[in-house]
């Protein structure tokens, strides 16, 4: 797969020797695909990146940059998409670009968003052939300007991917201390967790926090005298309650395992947890998106866990 797809303008095509007739033939035959008015790309190049959302969005950003005709970088949701970060709301797909040109006012038109913003050189990066805000700047910008949940989802994703660290996020936030939304961003960064393995887990942590439940440990390995036995999403040690945020993908066949293998492995895991005295609570998207409901279920599990503990010997968590 090519690292970058190169959109071009009519003027560039003519400069390369294509007259109007040649341009019309290329479009009629489908060899060229229009991206924007007067901006095209070779169909073969576009097809090569069709299965990669990050590269495909980079093509759209490159096309907008040609239309603008001045320096602008992908920022906000666009930078997050190109970096492959999770977004809580992935429906909005129009390119978002930032420019350091002071005379440019923010605009939302023609299928793209353009904003004026300070862009120090160390806040910039290049990915898939287009300039974007760095991973840390992208996270901080979204944490400043979006809801707490949206900020946490993208911060957890960037930390999980190893694109940023908490220390780097805090350092960059310090550089932006006079910008709007920094208090909100600081709250996001303080809450972010590199161990959150999915959007569902991020939303679950937020729901647990907002419902004033005790904070669980995340991604805890449990074991016995035979060694580690399983890893759980959430653990409340004092009541021996295990929380599992179950996205559908967790139990689908994969890695050479059949559906039967997956079911058998999960059954053995459940049996070990029960024998070890753990109360297991599972939830999905419906509960995570209804924090009071999730809180009721967690508190009920706490009560069952406390009852289960009575009279039991308690093996420890590794």
Give 9-40 pLDDT, tens digit per residue: 999 999 999 999 999 999 999 999 999 999 99
At residue 251, the pLDDT reads: 54
Q: Where in the chain is the domain with CATH 3.40.960.10?
A: 200-309
- Cα–Cα distance between 127 and 119 in angstroms, integer? 16
Q: How does 130-156 read in b/e, with b if 16+ C-beta sit within 10 Å?
A: bbbbbbbbbbbbbbbbbebbbbbbbbb
**Residue 97 near residue 91, CB atoms below 8 Å:** no
Residue 216 sits at φ, ψ, to 5 deg, of -85, 160
pLDDT at 145: 96
* Pairing state between β 279-283 and 241-245: parallel
Question: Which pLDDT score, from 0 to 100, does residue 23 have?
Answer: 94
pLDDT tens string 98-138: 998 766 766 777 889 999 999 999 999 999 999 999 999 99
The whole-number pLDDT of residue 110 equals: 80
Q: How far apart are the first and last CA of the chain?
A: 43
Q: Percentage of residues in the chain with pLDDT exceeding 90? A: 77
The length of the chain, given as a count of residues: 318
> Residue 86 and residue 113: Cα distance in Å, rounded?
20
Span 71-82, average pLDDT: 97
- Chain centroid to Cα 29, Å, comes to 38
What pLDDT shows up at residue 228? 85
Q: Could you report the per-residue pLDDT of 199-254, keeping only the tens digit for each?
A: 999 999 999 999 999 999 999 999 887 878 899 999 999 999 999 998 555 555 55
pLDDT of residue 315 exceeding 90: no
Task: Report residue 310's pLDDT band, with 50, 70 and 90 as the boundaries.
Answer: confident
Q: Are 135 and 165 in contact (CB under 8 A)?
A: no
User: Which class in CATH covers the domain with range 200-309?
Assistant: alpha beta
Does residue 147 have a pLDDT over 60? yes
Q: How far apart are CA 268 and CA 264, in angstroms?
A: 6
Q: 263-291: per-residue pLDDT in tens? A: 888 888 889 998 899 999 999 999 999 99
On the question of pLDDT at 68 being above 70, the answer is: yes
* Confidence at residue 103, expressed as pLDDT on a 0 to 100 scale: 63
pLDDT in the model for residue 3? 53
Residue ranges in 36-121 assigned as alpha helix (H): 43-48, 53-68, 76-83
pLDDT per residue as tens digits for the range 85-102: 999 987 778 899 999 876
Q: How much is the average pLDDT of 45-49?
A: 95
Among all chains, which residue has been given the structure tokens 């008015």?
37
Which residues does 196 contact at the CB level (< 8 Å), separation at least 6? 156, 159, 160, 202, 205, 218
150-181 confidence digits (pLDDT tens): 999 999 999 999 999 999 999 999 999 999 99
């Amino acid at each position: 797969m090519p690292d970058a797809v190169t959109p071009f303008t009519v003027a560039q095509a003519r400069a390369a020797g294509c007259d109007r007739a040649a341009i019309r033939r290329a479009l009629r035959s489908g060899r060229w695909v229009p991206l924007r008015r007067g901006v095209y790309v070779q169909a073969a190049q576009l097809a090569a990146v069709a299965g990669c959302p990050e590269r495909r969005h980079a093509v759209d950003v490159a096309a907008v940059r040609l239309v603008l005709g001045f320096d602008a970088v992908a920022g906000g949701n666009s930078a997050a998409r190109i970096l492959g970060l999770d977004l809580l709301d992935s429906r909005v797909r129009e390119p978002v670009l930032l420019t350091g040109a002071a005379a440019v006012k923010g605009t939302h038109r023609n299928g793209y968003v353009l904003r004026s913003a300070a862009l120090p050189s160390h806040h910039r990066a290049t990915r898939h052939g287009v300039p974007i805000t760095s991973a840390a700047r992208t996270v901080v910008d979204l944490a400043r300007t979006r809801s707490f949940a949206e900020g946490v989802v993208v911060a957890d994703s960037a930390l999980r991917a190893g694109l940023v660290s908490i220390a780097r996020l805090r350092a960059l936030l310090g550089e932006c201390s006079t910008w709007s939304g920094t208090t909100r961003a600081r709250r996001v960064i303080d809450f972010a967790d590199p161990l959150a393995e999915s959007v569902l887990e991020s939303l679950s942590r937020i729901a647990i926090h907002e419902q004033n439940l005790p904070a669980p440990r995340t991604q805890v390995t449990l074991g016995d005298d035979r060694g580690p036995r399983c890893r759980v999403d959430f653990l409340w040690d004092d009541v021996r309650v295990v929380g599992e945020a179950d996205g559908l993908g967790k139990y689908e066949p994969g890695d050479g395992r059949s559906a039967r293998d997956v079911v058998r492995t999960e059954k053995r895991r459940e049996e070990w947890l029960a024998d070890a005295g753990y109360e297991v609570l599972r939830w999905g998207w419906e509960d995570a998106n209804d924090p009071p409901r999730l809180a009721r279920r967690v508190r009920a599990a706490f009560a069952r866990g406390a009852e289960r503990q009575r009279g039991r010997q308690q093996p420890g968590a590794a």
